[in-house]
Copies of this chain bind each other. A is one copy, B any other.
């Protein structure tokens, strides 16, 4: 049985394989390459927004709708176990439990602690494995705040930015920059006071931030702003339609290729950074490295100088052909 078929058929094999990918075991490199070609038709949906905006409830509601359409859905929840939101996310995971027991749904949490930089690309690998395992929609959910979270959502075909009245960022704090990341803006908890004000503020910002669409610029996507309530299940249908429209937009304008090329370029550079470091580290013992750092500290050598001296003990050059 091929790896792909195994991952299709066996959930525990899938979970184990994802753990190996997450821990970046070199042993899976060949398998990831094998799966790479099998992952192409899946749609990756990124969901981000501040803590308290109800992202997980929204993802749950959206997933239920996609399941009614008989699409298999995988959810990757990037848990920032950083000081600032660990606890809430845990609660969200519990709320998502109503999806348990459905074979067409797979939920995977990833811890972000200590994986700075590399995290986005490991998430990318995870999303590819899930796509190859037969999930037609892969939803990547992350608390939106730092650059690494932005990188994660940029992996998606369609990115939802979720806001809620009174939660997380206020209107002052979201401002223009948010438009860059969002393909679709969602005002969640649309029944709460302040939702109307937030909705119209976001629409105004979008209008100001985007150039006016002209006849010869059909490829320009204008992010819609959608009012939803995950708890009352309103606006979810409209959200799903907006996602479809965005994906069709990408496809009909050949933008999927542009997106993929930019993404692969960034992924190549990020993986190059990790791999070249590993090659240097691998030819140094842990004790040796610890000794170098210890001496640099004692002799008060400036860190960059210590690094340069260490690297000078290496031969690094292109091979002659």
Contact = CB atoms under 8 A, between A and B. Distances in A.
A94 interface: no
Interface in A85-110: 85-88, 91
A147 interface: yes
Contacts of A304: 29, 32-33, 271, 275
A300 interface: yes
Nearest to A280: B276
A222 interface: no
A221 to B, nearest CB: 16
A9 B57 CA distance: 57
Interface in A68-94: 80-88, 91
A172 B91 CA distance: 9
Interface stretch (A192-200, A234-242, A248-256, A260-268): A260-268
Contact of A296 (B268, B284, B308): B268
A150 B84 CA distance: 9
Interface string A123-152: 000000000000000000001111111110
A173 B267 contact: no
Nearest to A34: B302
Contacts of A279: 311, 316
Nearest to A264: B297
B173 A87 contact: yes
A177 interface: yes
A308 B304 CA distance: 27
Contacts of A3: none
Contacts of A174: 83-85, 87
Contacts of A283: 316-318
State the number of copies, please: 2
Contacts of A114: 147
A307 interface: yes
A52 interface: yes
A260 B149 CA distance: 29
A148 B293 CA distance: 22
A293 B272 CA distance: 11
A272 B117 contact: no
Contacts of A313: 318-319
Contact of A297 (B145, B148, B169, B261): B261
A-B complex: 5 closest residue pairs judged by Cβ atoms: A146-B146, A87-B175, A145-B145, A86-B177, A36-B302
Given A87-B174, A146-B149, 13 more contacts: A51-B170, A86-B177, A87-B175, A145-B145, A268-B307, A272-B277, A275-B304, A275-B307, A275-B308, A276-B277, A276-B280, A277-B277, A315-B316
25 contacts: A29-B304, A36-B302, A37-B300, A51-B168, A52-B170, A82-B147, A82-B150, A83-B150, A83-B177, A86-B176, A86-B177, A87-B172, A114-B147, A116-B117, A145-B145, A264-B296, A268-B303, A271-B303, A272-B280, A272-B311, A273-B273, A275-B307, A276-B277, A283-B317, A314-B316
